[in-house]
A and B are shown apart, each in its own frame.
Chain A
Amino acid sequence: MDSFYNILNPEQSALAHANNFDFDHPSAFDYDTLFECLTNLKKGKSVEIPIYNFNTHSREQRTKTVYGANVIIFEGIFALHEKKIMDLMDLKIFVDTDADIRLARRLKRDIAERSRDLDGVLQQYMRFVKPSFDDYVQPTVKNADVIIPRGLENAVAIDLITKHIQKQLQDRPLKHRWDLAKIDCSGDLPPNVIVLKETNQIKGMHTILRDVETSRDDFIFYAERLSTLIIEKALSELPHDNITVTTPVGHDYQGKKFQETICGVSILRAGSTMETGLMRVCLDDATVGTGAASLMAVRVLRDHDVPEENIIFLTFLAASAGLHVLSHAFPKIKIITSMVDPVLNTETLWIEPGIGNFGDRYYGTEEDE
């Protein structure tokens, strides 16, 4: 929540530098930006979180990119203050810590990390922080679902909360996976999805791969054949330059040449089944069901400064829902799949009719029945 302090006007800024601005008042926060960020995160979109500089008391130009996730943890002294913010929360926790410990931590933090002196910190504490806690923070305890005394020491409470969250994730998988239900999955596929032309060979290979009776030997063979076609399709989506070459019979040929270098990244484990057929490509995962793993992988690439439009995502089989989720979050990536299945089972999160667990079938690690 500290990222969402309001932008100060020059007058307020002068007060802040003199340790005379009340940062511990609920009005010091930008709830609109906060609401927007949290809402988008819940939808699985990426958001730009402001960076607040506590030395200059101002918002920096740069921002931090944060991506939606299954579990979003939001913390801050006024986390339980504003109703519209609280309405976004599934679990509200108040961590209660002894007042002496709070002051000791504050002294340590503000002097070491925020360039304040002892007098300044104490003055601010007596004048703003303590009254504000008594007036605004302490009362929000009534908004909490759970109160945790003794903070981090309270291993039992932390364990209970972890278990509760895990159970929620299992009980309501679809809802928690990027609020999938709210994304419109009907109608046409997103424009950034390319599906291979359904030829007899593609359909025939799918028939073999999807058949529960297919031996592992055959499964591997046809998975590799199919992956070659998917990769060839992906490569033809890359940008090319015109080039003229001379042939051995002395004639010019007006050809094309790759513009850039490429590299392949696979999502372990099922993704690496495609690498045998892959020369140099981008991101691959065997199947896209909910789109959750794919989203996370694209994020990792984005965190490594790969521009979104440079990412091509390859997959054998995708559920329509997952494709919508993925392109909803990253509209500029290209997605290549050999086939799209209509159904994503809301209980099991399996693609139907589907192909089973691709990685298990490829690597032969199915559980015995």
Chain B
Amino acid sequence: MANYTLPSQCQLLEQTSQLKALMTIIRAQDTSRADFIFYADRIIRLLVEEGLNHLPVVDKSVKTPTGSEYQGIDFKGRICGVSIMRAGEAMEQGLRDCCRSVRIGKILIQRDEETHQPKLYYAKLPKDIESRYVLLLDPMLATGGSAMQAVQVLLDNNVREDRIIFLNLISAPEGIDAFVQRFPQIKIITGEIDGGLDDNKYIVPGVGDFGCRYFGTD
């Protein structure tokens, strides 16, 4: 989207040719499932690493094996992950690869076939979630409907809005705008911004159904 101005709450991963190559593989319709998983996981890892950069830090000086002082930093505040089922679960391993034994909550939201509105079916969150920073995981930000519903669940559980970081691989401008307007304090980290939505509210060019391709149910 050449003309789209990204809101300040949304951060795009550095658009390297390597990231573009990874995106090309997961977007191609004839990519095998094994390749889809492998390359999607690589993008997810980059998203998680970038998301973690938005956590607060404090200065910390350590002694190195050579006896010198290194002026480093330490992470402040505890985190947890919350995946929006089912596709968001594909991003859990990437989070675990960076944060061992991280707590991960799950939220199941599906579109009600009659009202076309997202509907909450299930939520299981860490008990102390109100004291944590939350990395919200969902690979695709299309209309933003289910993501906003998920955020509402988090807020209802006393998570602070400014402590939510939303990670996704591909976003549509419509989804970003709607999301930012409703939750202006949430940081969105995304891998790429696509052209928009088609009549079926699919992101185009998109990747198709991320969950089905990742979990092999298409």
Is there an interface contact between A204 and B73, defined as CB atoms closer than 8 Å?
yes
Is there an interface contact between A249 and B204, defined as CB atoms closer than 8 Å?
yes
Is there an interface contact between B68 and A352, defined as CB atoms closer than 8 Å?
yes
> What band does the interface of chain A fall in when counting residues whose beta carbon is under 8 Å from B?
35 or more
Within 204-238 of A, Cβ neighbours of B (below 8 Å) are at 204, 206-207, 210-213, 221, 225, 228-229, 232, 235-236, 238
- A255's partner among B24, B62, B98 (CB-CB below 8 A) is B24
A138 touches B (CB below 8 Å): no
A211, closest chain B residue (CB): B62
B170 to A: closest C-beta gap in Å: 10
Contacts of B20 in A (CB 8 A): 240, 255-256
Contacts of B68 in A (CB 8 A): 343, 352-354
Quick one: which of B17, B29, B100 has the most chain A CB within 10 A? B17
B202 touches A (CB below 8 Å): yes
A350, closest chain B residue (CB): B66
Encoded as 1 (CB less than 8 Å from any A CB) or 0, chain B from 6 to 48 comes to 0000000000111111011001110000000000001001100
Within 353-369 of A, Cβ neighbours of B (below 8 Å) are at 353-357, 361
- Given A225-B97, A228-B45, A232-B46, do A354 and B21 touch, yes or no (CB 8 Å)? no
- Given A243-B24, A248-B209, do A200 and B70 touch, yes or no (CB 8 Å)? no
A262 to B: closest C-beta gap in Å: 12
Within 176-218 of B, Cβ neighbours of A (below 8 Å) are at 195, 198, 202-209, 213
Is there an interface contact between B57 and A200, defined as CB atoms closer than 8 Å?
yes
A219 to B: closest C-beta gap in Å: 11
Quick one: which of A199, A245, A253 has the most chain B CB within 10 A? A253
A241 to B: closest C-beta gap in Å: 9
B23, closest chain A residue (CB): A255
Is there an interface contact between B206 and A249, defined as CB atoms closer than 8 Å?
yes
Q: How many A-B residue pairs have CB under 8 A?
A: 139
Question: By the criterion of a CB under 8 Å from any partner CB, how many residues of chain B are at the interface?
Answer: 47
Is there an interface contact between A248 and B60, defined as CB atoms closer than 8 Å?
no
Contacts of A200 in B (CB 8 A): 52-53, 55, 57, 73, 75
B49 touches A (CB below 8 Å): yes
A163 touches B (CB below 8 Å): no
Is there an interface contact between B24 and A353, defined as CB atoms closer than 8 Å?
no
Q: How far is the CA of A277 from the CA of B42 in the complex (A)?
A: 11
B204, closest chain A residue (CB): A251
Is there an interface contact between A201 and B29, defined as CB atoms closer than 8 Å?
no
- A212's partner among B65, B74, B205 (CB-CB below 8 A) is B65
Q: How far is the CA of A243 from the CA of B22 in the complex (A)?
A: 12
Contacts of B52 in A (CB 8 A): 200-201
Is there an interface contact between A199 and B18, defined as CB atoms closer than 8 Å?
no
- A207's partner among B42, B60, B97 (CB-CB below 8 A) is B60
A345 touches B (CB below 8 Å): yes
Q: How far is the CA of A258 from the CA of B18 in the complex (A)?
A: 8
Q: A221-B100, A251-B205, A257-B24 are in contact. List 4 more A-B contacts (CB 8 A).
A: A199-B53, A211-B64, A255-B28, A353-B68
* B residues neighboring A (CB under 8 Å): 16-21, 23-24, 27-29, 42, 45-46, 49-50, 52-53, 55, 57, 60, 62-66, 68-70, 72-75, 97-98, 100, 195, 198, 202-209, 213
